[in-house]
Structure 1
Amino acid sequence: MTHQAHARGAAGSQLRFVPRKQLLASACALALVSTFAVHAQDAQQGQTAPAQQNPDVDTLDTVQVTGIRAAVTKAVEIKNESTSIVEAISAEDIGKLPDISIADSISRLPGLATQRVDGRSQVINIRGMSEQFAGTLLNGREQVSTGDSRGVEFDQYPAELINSVVVYKTPDAGLIGQGLSGTVDLQTVRPLSLGERRIVFGGQYEANSFGDLSSDGEDRGYRASASYVDQFANDTIGVALGVARINSPFQEKHYKAWWWADMDAVDWGDPPQPGRPANAIALQGSEGWVKSRDLQRDGVMGVLEFKPNENFHSILDMYYSKFEQDEVMHGVMWNNDPWFQNGGVSYSNASTSQYQGRDVVTSGTLNGVRPAVRNDSNQREDKLFSAGWANTFNWGDIYTLKTDLSYSRAERDQSVLELYAGRLGGQSVDFNLRTDPGFAHYGLPDMADPGAVYLWDPQGWGHDGRMEDSFQKDTIKAGRVELNRLVESSDFLRSFDVGFNYNRRTKEKVATVFFADLPNGRTPTLVDPSLLYSPTSLGFVGMGNILSFNPRNLLNRYYDVYVSESNDDLRKDFTVEETIKTFYAKANLDMDLTDKIRLRGNVGVQYIRSEQSSTGFNANNNAIVAAQTLGTSYGDILPSMNLVADFGGGWMLRFGAAKTLMRPPINYLSADSSASVSDSSPALWSGSGGNPKLEPYRANAYDLSLERYFGEGSYVGLAVFYKDLETYIYRQNFPQWDFSGYDPDGKTPVSNFGNYSTWANGTGGYMRGVELSGAITGEAIHPVLEGFGALLNASYTESSIDPDPGDNSVGTDTIPGLSKIVANATVYYEKHGFSARLSQRYRDRYRGEYSALFGQRQYRFTLSERVLDLQFGYEFPETSKLSGLSLLLQVNNLNNEPFRTQVSESTGTGLFFPEEYTEYGRQYMLGFRYNL
C-alpha cells in the first residue's frame, strides 16, 4: 500500500488534510475489497470459510504453516480469543520475531507508533499518547525504566528472547500496572507449552551504509543468540534458556538550525548588526556534526516450569540485560545573534528569499563568528534485571489460587563529556540556507589545522569543557494473590476472581556536573600528533574537515577539573517512593443470548490506594539551602467492562468501558525546588520545582470494535475509541504558594506567600480516534495467490487537550506523542522455503519529548516520517542435508528516512522553520539461524 505524503504549501510547511482522508480511504477500500473477495469466493465454492463453520475459529489450532504466516496466524488467534480489545505479535518459534527490535515490531500494530531516538526505535506511543501514558509489563508484571520517568525503553529487551507481545487497548480489572493509553505485555516462552525440545542458535553480520564517519567510530557489528528449550520427567518439568548479544553500529549526520527571528520586529535591546537586511527573518545559530555509536547489549533469559499434576503449576522466570553505549561526536557550532560578542557579528553580501510572504536571509557571509569545534565522548551503561515466581493451586475442580512474587531493577550509569576548540578571533563564514528541511551549506576556514585551531572557549560559555556524571536506580518489589472460583450453576457467570497486589517502587537519581578549564587562561594547540585522530569531514554541510580527538585522553593532561553546579544541576538529585495497593474483583461472563449470538467478557473493579513521597533539594545561588521530603496519598475506584458479542460466521463486536489512570511522570514528583526571597523591595518569595503531591491523569475510556475473521490468519477490523480525561497535568503558576518551611537564606520576606511554578493537575479534555486494520492471506482471495499476504492498518486520532495553556504559539500545542495519522503496511511472500517481506510505517507530524541541553527534557515538533524495511529469507527443506538452517538478509531504514524537526519563529509570526535534519543511513544485516 502506498502512503500519501503530507502535501506542503508553496513554502513547504503547511499540512493539508486531504491526503489524510485519502490515506484512510485507501486502507478502508483495500480491506473492504479483501472481505468482499472472500465472500465471493465462498459463494462460488458453495461453502463457508472455516471460521464460519466455527465461530471460535478453533481450526487455527491445527495450522501447520511456518515462518511469517504462522506468526501472523497465531497473532490473529490471540486477538480473536481475547475478551479485551488487543493487538498481538507472536513468534512462530523462539527468537523469530520478524523485526530488528521489539519496538519495531510493536510499532507496526494498529494505532501504535515508535519514536526514533539516536536512529533506532526506542519508545512506543499508543493511540496518540507518549510513552509516559503506557504501562509496560514483562510476563504480566510492571517493569522499571532506565530513563528519568516511567517510559520503558524497548531497546533494552532483545527481540531474540521475547516470544510474543500483547498490547491491551482496553483495561481489565485483573491487569496490574496498566496504562492510560494502553498496556504492553512482553512475554517469554513457556517451555511446557512448547511441548518439544528446541535448540536454536544464530548470528548476523551488521553494517551501516555510511561507513566510518570518523576514525574512532565503528560501522560494522554483529548479533548472536542461542536458546535451549526442553521438557523432562514426563513433561512435568520445563526449562528454557536464552542468550543474545548485539554489537551494533549507529552512524549519524546531523545539522541543526538553532533559532530564527526578525530582530527588527520587537525591541529586545539588541545591538545593531551591520549588513543584516532590515525586517528580515534570520537564523541566529547553527551546528553540524557526525556521531558514531557502538551499542553492545547482552541479554539472558531463563524459565523453570514445574507442573507435576493438574493441581499445581509453578513458573520461575528471570531476565537480565546489560546495555553499553559508547558514543563519540565531532562537530562545529556557533552563535551569531546580536548579543554575541556585544554585536560583534556582521553580515556582508546578504540575500533574502521569500518564505510565506516574509523576507528570510538565506545566503551571504557572516563576519566575526567564532565557531566552536566540539569533541564529545558519551558513555552509558544500563543494567536491567527482572525475576518472578508464579504458582497456581487448583482444588476441588472449582477453586484456583494464584500467587506471584516479582522483583524488577534498572540502573543507569552515564558520563557525558564535551571539550571545545577553535581558531582565535572572529572568522568569516559563507552560508546558503534552506527554508525546507535538508542540509544547509556553509563555508568555513580550515578547522582541522592543528597549528591554527586552539583549545579554548571561542563561544564564551565560561568554561573550556563540561562533564556530567549521573547515576539512577529504579526498583519495583511486588506481590500478588488471586482466587478464582468456577460457577457451574449459572447460565451467564462462568467464574469470578478476587485479588490483591502490592507494589513498592523506588527511583533515585544523583548527578554531578564538572567544568574543565585550561590553567592560567592558556590556549594550547595539540602539537602531539598521537593525541589527534584523522580529521573528521563535515562535507555534507560544506563545513570541511575539523580537528578531532578523544576528549577523555586530554581531560587530565591539559585541564583543571572541578565541580560547578547551578541551581538546575543541584535539583537533578531526587528520590521518589511509591506504595501502590490494588484490590480487585472480576466476574467472567459467557452466555448464549440467542441461538446465533454468544456473549462473553468480564465486568470488574479495582480499588487502588496510592502513597507517594519524594526527597529533593532546595537550591539557591548555586548552593543547597535545605533538603525536604514531601508527599501525599489518595485512592481511586476503577470499574471496567469488556464484552464480546460473537454473531457467528467470524463476525464479532467488542465493547469496552472503564475508568483508568496513569500516575504522573516520576521526574514530575521530585521534591526539588529553587526558592528564594528577592533582594529588591518588597522582599517577596518566588520559586519553581517539582510537585510530590501530584495526582494521576484520570480518564473515562470507551471502545467499540467490529471484526470479521475469515480463513486462517485473516481478519478485518474497524475500531473507534473515546477517552475523556478528567484531569491533565500542566506546568502552572501559583501566586499564593505557601513558602512556610523554606529557608529564606538570611532574608526577611514581607510574607510567606509568593509565586511558585510547578506541575499541577488541571482541566482535561478528550482523545478520540478511529482505527482500521486487517490481515489477509493471498489464498483467501484466490488460490493462485497462495503464499502472498498483507498486514494493513491506519488510524486517525485527535485531541482537545492543550498541554501548554499559557503558550500562544500557533500550531504547536499538541499532546506529546500525538500523530493524527499513523499507518503501517506489510506485504510478504512465503513459499517453498523462500520468504520476502517489505514493511513501511508512517506517522504524521507530532510533538516528541527528547533529552535536551544538559540532560533537560524538551518538546520538539517532529515532522512526518516513513521508514521502509526489507527482509529476505530462505529455509532449507527437511529433505536437504542443511535442514534446520535458514538464511536471512535484512535492511532497516531502506529509504534512509531522515529525522526532521521544526521550530517556530521567535517573534510571533506563526511561521515554522527547519530545525534539525539528521540522517542515520541504512542498517544491513546478513545472518543465519539453525534449529537442531
Structure 2
Amino acid sequence: MPQSHHRSTVPAMPTQRRFSALPRASALALACSAVLAFSAQAQQAQSADAGKAPAQETAKTLDKVEVIGIRRSIATSVETKNEATSIVEAVSAEDIGKLPDISIADSISRLPGLTMQRVDGRGQVIHIRGMSEQFAGTLLNGREQVSTGDSRGVEFDQYPAELINAVTVYKTPDASLIGQGLSGTVDMQTVRPLDFKERKIVVGAQGERNSFGKLTDGGKHTGYRLSASYIDQFANDTIGLAIGAARLNAPFQEKHYKSWWWANTSLWGAPQGAKPDDAIALQGAEAWVKSRDATRDGVMAVLEFKPNDTWHSVLDAYHSKFDQSEWMRGAMWTNDPWWNNGAVTYTSANTTNYNGTPVVTSGTLSGIRPVVRNDNNLRNDTLSAFGWNTEYKTGPFTVTADLSYSRAEREQSMLETYAGMTTGLNVDFRIPLSAGYAWYGLPDLSAPASVKLGDPQGWGHDGRLEDSRQVDTLKAFRLSLNHALDSSFLSSYDIGYNFSRRSKDKHADVYFADLPGRTPVAVDPSLLQSPTDLGFAGMGSVLTFDPRALLSRYYNVHLSETNDDLQKDYRIEEDIGTFYAKANIDTTLGERVNLRGNVGFQYIHTNQKSNGVGITPTGPAAVSGVGASYNDFLPSINLVFDFNNGWNLRVGAAKEQMRPRINDMGAYANVGVSVGNGVAQWSGSGGNPRLEPFRAKAFDISVEKYFGPASYVALAAFYKDLESYVYTSTIPWDFSGYEFDTPTPPQSNIGTFSAPANGQGGYMRGVEFSTSLGGELLHPALEGFGLLLNGSYTESSIDPDGPGGSSTDTIPGLSKIVANATVFYEKNGFSARVSERFRDPYRGEYSYIFGQRSYRYTRSERTIDMQVGYDFPQTSRLHGLSLLLQVNNLNNEPFTTQVSDSNGLGLMFPEEYTEYGRQYLLGVRYSF
C-alpha cells in the first residue's frame, strides 16, 4: 500500500526512525500484517537482543502481499499513531473512500476518549475527552472548517464517508497546527492521487431501509447510497487527478414521547381535584412521529502536480449539498392548574412511592384539550471548501504557501400548525417512572368533523412559520518555512504565519398564521391524508395533512416578531493572525533510547467585532462595531521516548485556547435604565462581543507497547487546568452608543450587563486505555480474528453555571465513562464485525423550541452495529466485487433524557423517550 503523503498544512510525521528493533510500518510491514508477527519465538529473539546495541535494520524484498479490508485499516491507523510526535488517534479507510462505518461520525466516535452525540437518530457531532463539540477544532486537509450549525461545532453528517480517506485526531497541540481545539483537533483527509502508482476506479451502491417502515404520509422508509471515485496519474506520474462523488438518499424515522415537567403544585397554592396534596404530578406531555428524507450530494476533486523533487502543488476542492424535509405529526397538551383558569383537574389519581415521595402514575385527567400538530421543516445546507498548497524545496529549505476558502450556508423553514377539539376531554392515563412510553386513552383525534384547525392550547396564534438563513465564511492564507538541519539533536525547524478572516451572518423572520376571525374551521376531507398512528403512546390516531398545502388556503400569514426574534439577527467578524515557530527533535539518549518530538509556540492576535439588534424602551436599534482585540502566547512541547523494543513513552505540555461560541458573541441586547435613590444607571442583557477564549494549561502522558503492525496496547492520562471558562454573569459594561430618551439620564456610560463572560475555570482530567490485538497473538487457530477495545474515565470540577451554581450540573458533553469494543473476523475474503459503543449519562446541548439552545440530562447509551462482507478473490472472474450488509443501531437503542422536579427535592424523572429503529444497508462495491 502506498505511503500517505503528509501535506505541509499539518504537522509532518517522520518517515523513518533511525533506530528500531521492530519492522517499519511501511509497505513491507503492511504486507506482513497478513500474518501478524510475534510468535513465541519472535518474543524470545527480541529478549535475547535486548542487551545489544540496536543496528540499522536490513530486510530482503518480499513478494507483494496486498492487505485489504479491516486489517489494512487497522494497520494504517496504528502506523499513524505510532509515528506521530503528538498523542493522536486515527482511523483509515479499508480501501479508497471506504471508512469502516456508515458515517464519519460513527468511525471517529469509536476512537479512545471520543464519543458522539446522536441528533435526530444519527451521529452528528463529536465529543472529545468529555467536552462538547464546541471545544473541538475541525480541519479538512489541515485547514480549519466552518459550520452549518449556529456556533463552531462542525456537523460531520455534511461530509460523506465515501469521500474521506482518513481521519486523525490530535489530542495534544502542535505549534504548526492551525485551528486547534481545546479538547482536540479532528483532521479529515482526502486522497492524494500521486500516492497511487496506477489508475483506480471504484463504484458502489447500497439500498437502505428503516425497520419502522413508513410512520406518516410524506416520508419514506427506504433509500439508497451511490458513490464513485476515479484516481489516475499522467505525464510520467507527475500529474495526479482524483475525483469522487457520493449521493445519499436516507430515510429517518422517529417515535417520540416526552414528559414536560413534574411538580407538586399544591405546595404553591394550586391543588388539582383528586390529586393528593403531598403528591408530585406530571404537568404536560407530548407524543409524535417524525419522518425525514435526507438527500446529500457531495463531490471531491484533487489535482496534484509534482514535476520534480523541488516543486509540489496540490489543488483540492470539496462541495456538498444537503437537503432535508421533515414531517412531524403528534399531540401535546399542558395540564397544569394555571392553564385556562384551572380547567384541568384530576377526577381520580393513583400514586406510586418514588424515592420516598408519592407520585401520580395513573388515574383520570379531566378537561385537557390536546393540540394536534402537523409540522413541516425544510433544511438546505451547502458546504464548500477549496485549498491550494504549493511547496518549493531548495537545498535544506522548504517554502510552502497555502490558500484556502471555506463557506457554509444554511436555509431553514420551520412551519407548525395546530388543530384540536373545542371541548375538554376526560382521559385515563398510565405514566411510567422509568424510561419508556406512557399511555393515554385519548379519543379518536383523526375525525375531521370534531378535530378542527385552531388554537386549542391558547398560544395566541393558529400556526407559526420561521424562515432563517445563516452564512459562515472563512478565508485563510499561510506561509511557512522548514529548514532541515544536519544535527544530532534537531532534525529541522519550522516558522510560519497564518492569517484568517471569518464572518458569520444569521437572519430570521417569524410569521404567525391565523385563521380568519381566529375561528376554528374543519379541513376539507379532500386535503386530508391517512391518519398518523400514535398507538405506541396510547394516543390512537391524529388528523394528518400537508401543512404547507393548507397555508395559503386557510390562513392569513403576517410578520410577527418578538424582541427575542429580532435578536436572532447578528453578524460576527474575526480576524486572526497566528505566528508560529517549532523545533523538531530527533536524537538518541545513550544507546537504547531514541528521542523525537518538537517544542514550539504560537502567538495569536485576535480582532473581533459584532453587529446586532438592541432592544430599548423606545424600540429596536442597531448595534454595530462592538468587539475586542487581544493576544495569546501558546507554548507547546511533545516528546516521544522510543525504547526500540516496541515501547513508547509520550509526554506533552501546552497552553491551549478555544474561541468562544459564536452565538454567545452577538451584539444583541436588551437595554434599559433603572433608577434607584434618584440615581439612574444603565442595565441590560444579551450577547458579549468582547468575550475572550476558553484558556487552559494541558499535560499529557501516554505509555504504548506495539506488538506488530496492527497490534498495540496504550494507557494515557491527561490533565487540563482551565484558567477561564464562560458563564452567564453580571459584568460591568460600557453602554456608549445606546441612546434614547429617559426621564433621568445616567451620568455614566458604565452600567451592569448580564451576558456570557469569562470567569473562573477548573480542571478536566482523565485516563484512557486502548488496544488493538490480532487473534494470532494468542493462538494460531485464531488467525483472522481481532479485537479493538478502548475505555476512558473523565471528570471535571467545573460547574457550567459558575461558582456557587447547581451541584448536579456538569459541563456539556461530559460522560465519565466512555467505552468501545469491536470484534472482527477477516479471512479468505469473508469479513464480519460487531461493534458496541457505550457512554455514561451526560449533559447534552440540543436545539430547542424556536431554534433556541438547551441543555438536557441525557441518559447512558449503548448502541450496537454490525457488518458482514465478502470480497471475491483474485482467482474469481468477479475479482474486485465486494458485497456488504450493514445494520446500524442493531439493538434499537432509545434516546432518553431525564429532568429534575420543579419543587427542588432533587428527584430525577423520565423526560424524553425516542426510538429511531434499525438501519439496514445492503450493497455492492466494485473496484478496478
Give the TM-score category using the shorter length.
over 0.9
Match of 2:102 in 1: 100
TM-score (norm. length: structure 2): 0.93
Match of 2:608 in 1: 612
Deviation at residue 63 of structure 1 after TM alignment: 6.6
Cα deviation code 1:623-662 (max 9, x no counterpart): 5233332001000110000000000110000011110100
Q: Distance in 2 between matches of 1:321 and 1:859?
A: 30
Q: Distance in 2 between matches of 1:692 and 1:88?
A: 36
Tell whether the 8 Å contact from 1:55 to 1:649 is kept in structure 2 after alignment: no
Match of 1:228 in 2: 230
Match of 1:553 in 2: 549
Change in CA separation of 1:555 and 1:538 when aligned onto 2, cut-off 3 Å: same
Change in CA separation of 1:653 and 1:896 when aligned onto 2, cut-off 3 Å: same
Tell whether the 8 Å contact from 1:676 to 1:745 is kept in structure 2 after alignment: no
Match of 1:767 in 2: 764
Residue type at the aligned position of 2:598: N
Structure 2 counterparts to residues 511-522 of structure 1, below 5 A: 511-522=508-519
Q: Distance in 2 between matches of 1:55 and 1:105?
A: 38
Tell whether the 8 Å contact from 2:774 to 2:787 is kept in structure 1 after alignment: yes
Q: Distance in 2 between matches of 1:241 and 1:44?
A: 44
Whether 1:274 and 2:282 are equivalent positions in the alignment is no
Q: Please state whether the residue corresponding to 2:549 is helix, strand or coil.
A: helix
Cα deviation code 1:410-461 (max 9, x no counterpart): 0000000000000002111211001111111111121000000010000010
Deviation at residue 564 of structure 1 after TM alignment: 0.7
Match of 1:727 in 2: 724
Structure 2 counterparts to residues 389-788 of structure 1, below 5 A: 389-396=388-395, 398-488=396-486, 490-526=487-523, 528-620=524-616, 623-677=619-673, 685-734=682-731, 737-744=733-740, 746-749=742-745, 752=748, 754-788=751-785
Match of 2:3 in 1: none
RMSD (Å) for aligned C-alpha atoms: 2.1
Aligned residues: 887
Q: Distance in 2 between matches of 1:890 and 1:179?
A: 33
Tell whether the 8 Å contact from 2:773 to 2:786 is kept in structure 1 after alignment: yes
Cα deviation code 1:877-911 (max 9, x no counterpart): 11111111000000000000000001011110001
Q: Please state whether the residue corresponding to 2:306 is helix, strand or coil.
A: strand
Residue type at the aligned position of 1:574: Y
Q: Please state whether the residue corresponding to 1:174 is helix, strand or coil.
A: coil
Match of 2:16 in 1: none
Cα deviation code 1:736-763 (max 9, x no counterpart): 5443432345553566555421010000
TM-score (norm. length: structure 1): 0.93
Q: Distance in 1 between matches of 2:726 and 2:599?
A: 29
Cα deviation code 1:5-57 (max 9, x no counterpart): xxxxxxxxxxxxxxxxxxxxxxxxxxxxxxxxx99952587434999998999
Deviation at residue 681 of structure 1 after TM alignment: 9.1
Q: Distance in 2 between matches of 1:308 and 1:44?
A: 43
Q: Distance in 2 between matches of 1:834 and 1:900?
A: 37
Whether 1:377 and 2:362 are equivalent positions in the alignment is no
Match of 1:69 in 2: 71
Match of 1:87 in 2: 89
Q: Distance in 2 between matches of 1:90 and 1:821?
A: 25
Deviation at residue 387 of structure 1 after TM alignment: 0.4
Q: Which moved more, 1:619-628 or 1:402-411?
A: 619-628
Match of 1:794 in 2: 791
Q: Please state whether the residue corresponding to 2:105 is helix, strand or coil.
A: helix
Q: Please state whether the residue corresponding to 2:432 is helix, strand or coil.
A: coil
Match of 2:306 in 1: 307
Structure 2 counterparts to residues 783-862 of structure 1, below 5 A: 783-805=780-802, 808-811=805-808, 813-862=809-858
Tell whether the 8 Å contact from 1:809 to 1:908 is kept in structure 2 after alignment: no
Tell whether the 8 Å contact from 1:55 to 1:648 is kept in structure 2 after alignment: no
Match of 2:326 in 1: 327
Deviation at residue 279 of structure 1 after TM alignment: 1.6
Whether 1:217 and 2:238 are equivalent positions in the alignment is no
Match of 1:184 in 2: 186
Aligned match for 2:920, one of 914, 918, 924 = 924
Tell whether the 8 Å contact from 1:146 to 1:410 is kept in structure 2 after alignment: yes
Q: Distance in 2 between matches of 1:56 and 1:822?
A: 41
Q: Distance in 2 between matches of 1:226 and 1:362?
A: 55
Identity of aligned residues (%): 63
Q: Distance in 2 between matches of 1:861 and 1:690?
A: 25
Deviation at residue 569 of structure 1 after TM alignment: 0.6
Structure 2 counterparts to residues 246-395 of structure 1, below 5 A: 246-265=248-267, 267=268, 271-395=270-394
Deviation at residue 587 of structure 1 after TM alignment: 0.3
Change in CA separation of 1:544 and 1:928 when aligned onto 2, cut-off 3 Å: same
Tell whether the 8 Å contact from 2:462 to 2:518 is kept in structure 1 after alignment: no
Q: Distance in 1 between matches of 2:657 and 2:453?
A: 52
Change in CA separation of 1:517 and 1:751 when aligned onto 2, cut-off 3 Å: farther
Cα deviation code 1:377-417 (max 9, x no counterpart): 00000000000000110012x00001100000000000000
Q: Please state whether the residue corresponding to 2:550 is helix, strand or coil.
A: helix
Match of 1:884 in 2: 880
Match of 1:116 in 2: 118
Q: Distance in 2 between matches of 1:836 and 1:677?
A: 68
Whether 1:894 and 2:890 are equivalent positions in the alignment is yes
Match of 2:17 in 1: none
Cα deviation code 1:759-803 (max 9, x no counterpart): 100001100000000001111222111100011000000000001
Change in CA separation of 1:47 and 1:869 when aligned onto 2, cut-off 3 Å: same
Deviation at residue 58 of structure 1 after TM alignment: 10
Whether 1:903 and 2:890 are equivalent positions in the alignment is no
Whether 1:914 and 2:910 are equivalent positions in the alignment is yes
Cα deviation code 1:322-346 (max 9, x no counterpart): 0000000000000011110111111
Q: Please state whether the residue corresponding to 2:206 is helix, strand or coil.
A: strand
Cα deviation code 1:476-529 (max 9, x no counterpart): 0000011011111x2101100010001000000000110111111221101x22
Tell whether the 8 Å contact from 2:125 to 2:154 is kept in structure 1 after alignment: yes
Match of 1:33 in 2: none
Residue type at the aligned position of 2:101: D
Match of 1:4 in 2: none
Q: Distance in 2 between matches of 1:44 and 1:712?
A: 14
Change in CA separation of 1:772 and 1:51 when aligned onto 2, cut-off 3 Å: farther
Q: Distance in 2 between matches of 1:152 and 1:862?
A: 21
Deviation at residue 222 of structure 1 after TM alignment: 0.2
